[in-house]
Structure formats: C-alpha cells, structure tokens
Structure 1
Amino acid sequence: MRYASITERLASLGSEKWAVHVEARRRKGQGEPIIELTIGEPDLPPHQSLLEEATRAMHAGRYRYSNGRGEPPVVEALVRKYARRRPDVTSANVLCFPGTQTALFAVMLGLVEKGDAVLVGDPLYATYEGVIRATGAEQVTVPLRPEHGFHMQADDLERSITPQSRVLLLNTPHNPTGAVLTADEIAAIGEVCRRHDLWIVCDEVYEELVFSGSFASPFDDPELAERTIVCSSISKSHAAPGFRSGWAIGPAEFASRLLAVSETMLFGVQPFIADMTAYALDNPIDTSARMRQSYKSRADQVIAGLADAPGLTPVAPEAGMFIVVDVSATGMDGEAFAWALLDEEQVAVMPGSAFGSGGDDFIRISLTVPDEMIDEACRRVSALAMRSGVRKELRA
C-alpha cells in the first residue's frame, strides 16, 4: 500500500526520540524501582480551583461544539494577558489550540512548505524537528554554544540564514537548557529577522518559570509585532499538561489566514477546558511560584550533588524544570551515559542527542521529583561517573 511522504519525513521523529523514557516506563511497569527523571511533567497537581471550575463548567453544559478561534471567555482572558505586554492586542490576534504542540504544528503549517527553511537553535526541544519536517520545509540549526550559556547569538543566527529561510523558531525560556534570553539579545536577534524578513515563532511555555530577573520576548517589541507569533499553554505554568489547553497570539492577518487551517484540523477546543483556562489566566494562583522555588532549589541540589563526580559538569539553568549535565569527560556521550545509567543504576534521564547534535555531550535531568529522590539519583549518577572514570583510565 502507498503512504503520503509525511510518514517518511516523520518516521524517526516521534517516540523514537524518547526511547530511554519509553523503556524506563516499561521496566517500571514490571516492578523495577526506576527513578524517572525524563519528561517535564510537573509534580504539583493543578490548583483545586481549576478542577472545580472545569467540573462546574461541565455540569453547566459546557461540553458542546466550540468554534475555531476559541471560546469567548478564554479569548477575552488571553487578550487581557497579552494586552498587558502590548496594548494593541485584541481578539483578532488570538487562536486557541489543544496545547502548545498543536499550536506549533498549525502555525508552521501556515507559514512554510517544501522549498522553505526554518531556523532553530540547537539544542532544541525534541518535537521541533517534527513540526518543521511535517510541512516539507528544511530545518536549519543555529548553534547554541555552552560558552554563551546556550543563549542564541545574533551573529550565529546571521551566519545560518539561507535564501530559503522564512521562520526563526525561538524558544525562551529554553528547553532543554533553561537559558533565558535577555531583552538586548532579543533586540539583536529581532534586528536580524527584520533585515531578512523572517517570521519569529516564539515558544514561551516556560514564561512563568524564570528563576530570577525578568522575562523578555520579541512579542513585546512593537517593531516586531508584524512578524512575531507566540505559542504557549497552561501545561507548565499551571501544572495542567493533560488538559491540553494552549494558544497562538500573532498579527491579525496571520490569525485570520490560519483560522481555516485550525478549523480544518480541530474546529475548536473543549468549552469546559476553555472556561478553566480563562479562570487560570484571570485569577492569582500560586502554582508557578511554588514550582519556580522548587525547581530552582532542586537545580542547586543537583549541582551540589554532582560536585565531586568525576567527568560531570552541570549547567545551572535560568528557568524551567530541567538541568543539563555535560558527561563528555567520562568518556561517554549523552546517549551512552543515559543507557548505562538506566541499565546499571535504574535512573532514567534523557540523552542530549534527543535534542539535536548540540546536545550530544549532555544528559537532561528533570527536576519534577521529590528532593529525596533527587539526592538518591545524584548518588547513582555519581556512582556511574566514578566507574566510567576507571573504565576511561583502563582504555588509556
């Protein structure tokens, strides 16, 4: 039988990137005491008021068909949220989706196609290559260098641009590294995008998990308004990943053109979840503040816990719920280290190679488990590093 070419383009870009996580879950299901530090699933539950609002909305009959743009209560809440950042935002700038992932997929489908190229920093979130390749466009990576704290540099972006470049897919705060771009860095990147007439699609899902300092975005610069689209959700900010509630905010013409794409895919999101999302956006809820404090503390805990481990160099994150560790001095790359850690120490982490070639020397550790589990995981990671050092000496 014949299949569309998209199945070939995406053949190795789905669950294969999460092979360590999938195997760890399988072993855990068979009773192995795996410490799972792979995915970014908040360890706090959604605030009770959100569950109550979703329940109230369901009992009030908010389970019927929606519309393509989004339910009025959540659209209005999103206008209020983003108008605080840029006063010209109206409902014409808003499209609602089931989560950031769907928003990114639809946005890319509306901006690029075969023959185009999308620029993205490397390391990059594991699904970005898929949302780019699905359109038929080419992915062109911009190096995110450890010596710059994984902050994208405008000069590196400039050197990566080709005549086919149409979009910069930007992620700040960044997954997997936790890097947060400054306003000056974004201004420099924005200037490059203006000169080359590039769209900027900015994934800001970790906006509320910045540990210190202020969050900056190209969306907030009026001079970049005509070319910037923000994608985000309540998955991380409100510890509600399973509710799948996200959005894209961009120029009115963009939103109007993409509406038919969105309607063809989805024709709306669940009204009771939209009501819950509107409540989350409009009310003071302390979930993100609690997570910020917890994840910053656990990142510090990992850095201290691995301080004496030979060959390991943790990189302090500036935001988010992960920390990356350079393991190259152990004599292994991130892929080999992650599998050895699972096999020998029953700790599951993500190999950096899942996030692009720029992550090959790293592992990514999730900070979404209790403190005592972080301590035990650091002990086991250190034990593997100690043995790896011995192996490296024997090979020499």
Structure 2
Amino acid sequence: MRYASITERLADLGSGKWSLHIRARQLKASGADIIELTIGEPDLPPDRALLDECQRAMNAGRYRYSNGRGEPTVVAAVAEKYRRRRADVTNENVLCFPGTQTALFAVILGLAEAGDAVLVGDPLYATYEGVIRSTGAHPVLVPLKPEFGFHMQAEDLEKAITPESRVLLLNTPHNPTGAVLTAEEIAAIGEVARRHDLWIVCDEVYEELVFDAVFASPFDNPDFAERTIVVSSISKSHAAPGFRSGWAVGPVEFTERLLPVSETMLFGTQPFIADMTAYALTHDIDTARRMRLSYKSRAAQIVAGLAAAPGIEVFAPEAGMFILIDVSGTGLDGDAFAWALLEEEGVAVMPGSSFGDEAQNYLRVSLTVPDGAIDEACRRISALAERASLRKERCA
C-alpha cells in the first residue's frame, strides 16, 4: 500500500526519542526501584479550584461543540494576559488549541512548506524537528553554546540564514537547557529576523517558571509585533499538562489566515476545559510560584550533589523544570551513560541525543521529584560516574 511522504519524514521522530522513558515505565510497572527523572510532568497537582471549575462547567452542560477560535471566555482571558505585556492585543490576535504542541504544529504548518528552512537553536526540544519536517520544510540548527549559557547569539543566527529561511523557532525559557534570553539578546535576534524578513515563533511555555532572571520576549517589542507569534499553555504554569489547553497569539492577519487551518484540524476545544483555563488566567493561583521555588532549590541540590562526581559538569538552569549535565568527562556520551544509569542504578533520565546534535554528551534531568529522591539520584549518578571514570583511566 502507498503512504503519504509525511510518514517517511517523521518515521524516526516520534516516540523513539522517548524509548528510555518508555523502558523505565515498563521496569517500574514490573516492580523495579526506578527514580524517574525523564519527562516534564509537574509533581504538584493542579489547584483544587481549577478542578472544581472544570467539574462545575461539565455539570452545567459545557460539553457541546465549541468554535474554531476558542470559547469567548478563554479567548478574552488570553488576550488580557498578553495585553498586560503589549497594549494593542485584542481577541482577534488569539487562537486556542489543545496544548502548546498542537498550537506549534498548526502555526508552523501555516508559515512553512516544502523547500523552506526553519531556524532553531540546538539543543532543541525533542518534538521541534518533527513539527518542522511535517510541513515539508527542513530545520537549520543554530548552535547554542555552553560558554554563552546556551543563549542564542545573534551572529550565530545570522551565519545560519540561507535564502530558504522563513521562520525562526525560538524557545525562551529554553528546554532542555533552562536558558532565559535577555531583552538585549532578543533585540539583537529580532533585528536579524527583521533584516531577513523572518517570522519569529516563540515557545514561552515556561514563562512563569523563571528563577532569578528577567523574562523577555520578542512579542513585547513593538518593532517585532508584525512578525512574532507566541505559543503557550497552562500545562506548566498551572501543573495541568493532561488537560491540553494552549493558544497562539500573533498578528490579526496571521490568526485570520490560520483560523481555517485550525478549524480543519480541530474545530474547537472542550468548553469545560476552556472555562477552567479562563479561570486559571483570571485568578491569583500560586502553583507556578510554588513550582518555581521548588525547582530552583532542587537544581541547586543537584549542583551540590554532583559537585564531587568525576567527569561530570552540571549547568544550573535559569528557569524551568530540568537541569543539563555533561557526562563526556566520564568517557561515555549521553546515550551510553543514560542507558547504563537505568540498567545499573535504576535512574531514568533523558539522553541528550533526544535534544539535538549539540546535546550528544548531555543528560537532561527532571526536577519534578521529591528532594529525597533527588539526593538518592545524585548518589547513584555519582556511583556510575566513578565506575565509568575508572574504566576510562584504565583504558588511557
């Protein structure tokens, strides 16, 4: 039988990137003692008020068809959130989707096609390459260098641009590195995008999980308003990943042109979840603050816990729920170390290869487990690092 070419383009870009996580879940289900530090699933539940609002809406009959743009209450709430950042935002700038991933897929589908290039930082979130290739476009990787704290540099972006470049996919705060771009860095990057007439698509799902840095966005700069689209959701900010509630905010012309694409894909989201999202965005809920404090503390805990581990270098994040660890000094790359860590020590982390060429020597470690489990994970990581480093010395 014949298949569309998209199935070939995405053949190696699906769940294979999460094979270690899947194996860890299997081991855990069989009774193995596994410390799971793989995916970005908040360890706090959603605030009780959100669950109550969702249930209230369902009991009130809010389970019928919605519309393509989104329920009026949540569209208005999203518009108000971004109007606090830029005064000209209206409801017409907003489209609602089931989560950031769907929003990102639809947005890139509306901006790029076969023969186009989409620029993206490397390391990059695991699904970005698939989102880009699904359109027929191809990714062009801009190296994010550890000596710059994994912050994209405007000159590196400029070097990567080709005549096929159409879109810059930006992610700040960044997954997997936790880097937060400064306003000055964004201004320089935005100027490069303006000179080369690039769209800027900015994934800001970790906006409310910034530790001590100051969050900045190209969306907030009027000079880049005509070319910037933000995607985000309540998955991280309100510890509600399973509810799949997100949005895209961009120029009115863009949302009008993308709306038929969205309607063809989805024709609306669940009204009861929209009501919960509107409540989340219009009430003072402290979930993000609590997670922010917890993740910052756990990141510091890992830095301290691995300080004496041979061959290990830890990069403290500026935001988010992950920390990046370079294991190349042990003589192993990220893949080999991660699988050995699971099989020998019962700790599941994400190998850096899931996040691009520049992350081959890294592990991405989630901060979403209790402090005691963090301490035990550090002990087990250190034990493997010591064994690997001894083997490296013997072979030298």
The TM-score range, normalised by the shorter chain, is over 0.9
Q: Distance in 2 between matches of 1:357 and 1:316?
A: 20
Q: What is the deviation of 1:17? A: 0.4
Give the counterpart letter for 2:208 in structure 1.
E
Structure 2 SS opposite 1:299: helix
Amino acid at match of 1:305: G
In the other structure, the counterpart of 1:256 is 256
* Mapping for residues 15-164 of structure 1, pairs under 5 Å: 15-164=15-164
Which amino acid is 1:201 matched to? V
Matched residue type, 2:172: T
| Distance (whole Å) between structure 1 residues aligned to residue 160 and residue 107 of structure 2 | 22
CA distance in 2, matches of 1:38, 1:264: 34
- Measured after TM superposition, the shift of residue 394 of structure 1 is 1.2
Of the structure 1 ranges 24-33 and 116-125, higher mean CA displacement relative to structure 2 is found in 24-33
1:46-97 deviations in Å (ceiling 9; x for gaps)? 0000000000000111000000000000000011100000010001100000
3-state SS in 2 of match to 1:197? coil
Query: Once the 2 structures are TM-superposed, how far is the Cα of residue 213 of structure 1 from its aligned partner?
Result: 2.8
What is the SS of the residue equivalent to 1:174?
A: coil
Q: Distance in 2 between matches of 1:28 and 1:214?
A: 39
1:354 alignment partner in structure 2: 354
Structure 2 residue runs without a partner (length 5+): none
Matched, 1:304 2:304: yes
Matched with 1:177 is 177
What whole-Å deviation, never above 9, does each CA across 1:121-157 have from its counterpart, x for those lacking one? 0000000000000000010000000000000000000
Q: Distance in 2 between matches of 1:24 and 1:190?
A: 41
Residues of 1 paired with 2:309 and 2:32: CA distance?
Answer: 25
Q: Find the aligned partners of 2:213 and 2:96 in 1 and give their Cα distance.
A: 29
Verify: 1:202 aligned to 2:187, yes or no. Answer: no
Matched residue, 1:380: 380
- The structural deviation recorded for 1:105 is 0.3
Q: What is the aligned residue count? A: 396
> Normalising by structure 2, what TM-score?
1.00
SS of structure 1 residue aligned to 2:173: coil
- With the length of structure 1 as denominator, give the TM-score of the two structures: 1.00
Query: For the residues of structure 2 that align with 1:44 and 1:320, how far apart are their CA atoms?
Result: 14
- The list of structure 1 runs, each at least 4 consecutive aligned residues, that deviate by more than 4 angstroms after superposition, is none
1:89-126 CA distances to partner (integer Å, 9 max, x unpaired)? 00110000000000000001000000100000000000
Equivalent position amino acid for 1:309 in 2: A
Distance in 2, matches of 1:159 and 1:234, equals 35
Deviation track 1:312-368 (CA, whole Å, cap 9, x = no partner) reads: 000000000000000000000000000000010010000011000010110010000
Paired amino acid for 1:176:
P
Q: Does 1:320 align with 2:336?
A: no
Residue aligning to 1:340: 340
Q: Which amino acid aligns with 1:365?
A: V
- Partners of 1:60 and 1:214 lie apart in 2 by 41
User: 2-side partners of 1:284 and 1:349: how far apart?
Assistant: 33
Task: Name the % identity.
Answer: 76
CA distance in 1, matches of 2:359, 2:80: 38
Give the partner amino acid of 1:393: E
CA distance in 2, matches of 1:305, 1:109: 43
Note if contact 2:298-2:371 (Cα within 8 Å) is conserved in structure 1: yes
Question: Distance between the aligned counterparts of 2:37 and 2:348, measured in 1?
Answer: 5
1:229 aligns with: 229
Distance of 2:357 and 2:213 partners within structure 1 = 30
| Counterpart residue number, 1:245 | 245
Task: Write the distance in 2 (CA, Å) between the matches of 1:184 and 1:29.
Answer: 48
State the match for 1:220 in structure 2.
220
Amino acid at match of 1:379: R
Give the Cα separation in 2 of the matches to 1:290 and 1:185: 28
Tell me how far 1:214 sits from its aligned partner. 1.6
Query: Do the aligned partners of 2:213 and 2:318 also contact (CA within 8 Å) in 1?
Result: no
Q: Which SS does the other structure have where 2:109 is aligned?
A: helix
2:172/2:181 contact within 8 Å kept:
yes
